Amino acid sequence: MLEGFTPKVFEDHSFDGATTAVLRTHFRKWATTAPLQEQGVDTFGKSGRYRFFVMVDQEALELKSDPDAMTQTGFVRLVYGEWEPEVNEDGNEAVDLDEELEPLEGCTQEDVGWMKVPHDEVQGIGATAMCDMHDRDMYYAPPSEMQALG
């Protein structure tokens, strides 16, 4: 099975410094045609491969330079490709009035559609553990924390 597994990697300098929202748009476009190209079917159910992607940003790369830190704090972003910010009836982003959150890439909601996960757990556990919204809601942690999945 592992011999047939080939992760899809998008390495493009135009993505340097891109926000999660920009990458999510690119991922969604890819995910609409990928099941047919890769599997020969129009849809591939709730496979994590077409619902989540891993983002390695500058913060994660900087931790790679310290092998001791990498084993303790190394992370990547696990991004939910189908996530949309909550909006109110006038079409603006919904804001939780109970707590004012610092904007994170322009989003002031607790759920920003991605979370930090240990780099060594993301492939084996991350995308396979979260096959639907219930699973994602059960695991989700705001980016200020790192969420262990195993």
Contacts of 143 (CB under 8 A, 6+ apart): 77, 104, 112, 114, 115, 116
**In the predicted model, what is the mean pLDDT of the chain?**
74
**Whether residue 1 has pLDDT greater than 80:** no
115: which DSSP letter?
E
122: which DSSP letter?
I
Q: What is the pLDDT of residue 64?
A: 56
What is the 3-state secondary structure of 10-56? CCCHHHCCCCHHHHHHHHHHHHHHHHHHHHCCCCCCCCHHHCEEEEC
Q: Which of 102, 99, 55 is nearest to 81 (CA)?
A: 55
Higher pLDDT, 132 or 147: 147
Share of the chain above pLDDT 90, in %: 5
